[in-house]
Amino acid sequence: MKLSDTGLSEQELKDMAKTYMIETYERYDFVAERAEGMYLYDPQGNAYLDFYGGIAVNNAGNCNPKVVAALREQVGDIMHTFNYPYTIPQVLLAKQVCEASGFDKIFFQNSGTEANEVAIKLARKYGIDHFGKHKFEILSALNSFHGRTFGSLAATGQPGSLAQDGFGQMTPGFTYAKFNDLEDFKANVTENTIAIMIEPVQGEGGVNPATPEFIEGLRALCDEKDILLIFDEVQTGWGRTGSIFAWQGYGVKPDILTMAKGLGGGVPIGAMVTTDAIAAALTPGTHGSTFGGSPMCTAAALAETSEIIERNLPANAKTLGEYMIERGRELPHIKESRGRGLLVGFEFDSTVNAVDIKHAALKRGLLTTAIGDSIIRCIPPLIVTKQQVDEAIGILVDAVNAVAAGEE
């Protein structure tokens, strides 16, 4: 829909949003009307270089032509019908995702938090079926992010945060340990623990990659104690960190893996994959979803994942991610430039504020995200070029200097 079709001015649209919408988001001060490849466009046709990719979603580029074509065709054939009949794109996507992730079975959901909900439910069901009623606790990492619904929210290790505070008692059965601290995880495992759940790279927590020793140690701990290892790859999945899934880059395979964001290239879809033996705990009647795995969303995801695989976008993420982290070290007031693949975090010293930097970059035509007051996160589509990375770094240099000079 174009603003010119509505008869509204840009300001009227923004005012209407303030009047009618519950605002839990810190909005960027522009209207995104159209997107293509690495750019978003406002109603005046101004271009914004996209270094947030709809939060690590549009991995094969905004409005990837193959995804758009697949969606258009599917919408004309069948959009939704619930999971009673077999539908063609759903089954083809199931095979493609299982093969690409190295797992046997998949369950489709509509989002990241839902993918984690089914992972949590499966782990608990498996634990109780195999070891008894006590075995349902999940140990996750402090500073993690697993989603906003009550199960995933309880798995999110952020006690006292805006996400959890004031919502009453969190779902029981979740405990936390320090990320990248194997001893703390060992110390917090009990006879009730059925699963350890982590993000291989904490995204919302500020771009913190797991160390190889930590991840290898968790695998060994889980094997020793009959605990399931769950990787939340909602943000790291589908090429982001330089391999199709982060587990492949680390060489440490979990028992259950969740994905969403980059899976669908912009349509709402999430999924959980696991082994045949673990999947057997979910039998007819134990779980379901009205929209999960709809022909519409799975057709788009089939096209998106084919693009990621056929164009080897993880390789571009690896090369340009390393380049971007290197170039980030040149930024003024930088404290640390870190990440894995194209999940990049620039942490600044306390003399500049990351939210100010984000807004200053936006004014200069670059879209990024800020985490807290000190981190700028860059999660561009994986089709980004070296030249565009250089351009983004150039804009960030100007933006940080303007913030430091008190001009923003």
Ligand X SMILES: *Cc1c(COP(=O)(O)O)cnc(C)c1O
**Footprint of ligand X (CB under 6 A):** 111-113, 116, 145-147, 199, 203-204, 232, 234-235, 260-261
Cβ 280 to ligand X shortest distance, Å: 25
Active-site residue 165, yes or no?
no
Cβ 179 to ligand X shortest distance, Å: 12
Q: Annotated catalytic residue: which of 125, 261, 318, 358?
A: 261
Q: Which residue is nearest to ligand X (CB)?
A: 112
Closest CB to ligand X among residues 139, 360: 139
The residue type of 232 is D
Cβ 148 to ligand X shortest distance, Å: 6
Closest CB to ligand X among residues 111, 180: 111
Cβ 205 to ligand X shortest distance, Å: 9
Closest CB to ligand X among residues 234, 324: 234
List the structure tokens of 231: 């990787």
Active-site residue 145, yes or no?
yes
Q: Annotated catalytic residue: which of 136, 174, 232, 318?
A: 232
Closest CB to ligand X among residues 301, 395: 301
Cβ 204 to ligand X shortest distance, Å: 6
User: Residue 344: beta bridge partners?
Assistant: 339, 378
Active-site residue 232, yes or no?
yes
Cβ 25 to ligand X shortest distance, Å: 12
Closest CB to ligand X among residues 149, 192: 149
What 3 state SS string does the chain have?
A: CCHHHHCCCHHHHHHHHHHHCCCCCCCCCCCCCEEEECEEECCCCCEEEECCHHHHCCCCCECCHHHHHHHHHHHHHCCCCCCCCCCHHHHHHHHHHHHHHCCCEEEEECCHHHHHHHHHHHHHHHHHHHHCCCCCEEEEEECCCCCCCHHHHHHCECCCCCCCCCCCCCCCCEEEECCCCHHHHHHHCCCCEEEEEECCEECCCCCEECCHHHHHHHHHHHHHHCCEEEEECCCCCCCCCCCCCHHHHHCCCCCEEEECHHHCECECCEEEEECHHHHCCCCCCCCCCCCCCCHHHHHHHHHHHHHHHHCCHHHHHHHHHHHHHHHHCCCCCEEEEEEECCEEEEEECCCCCHHHHHHHHHHCCEECEEECCCEEEECCCCCCCHHHHHHHHHHHHHHHHHHHCCCC
Closest CB to ligand X among residues 234, 378: 234
Q: Annotated catalytic residue: which of 30, 145, 214, 245?
A: 145
Catalytic residues: 145, 232, 261
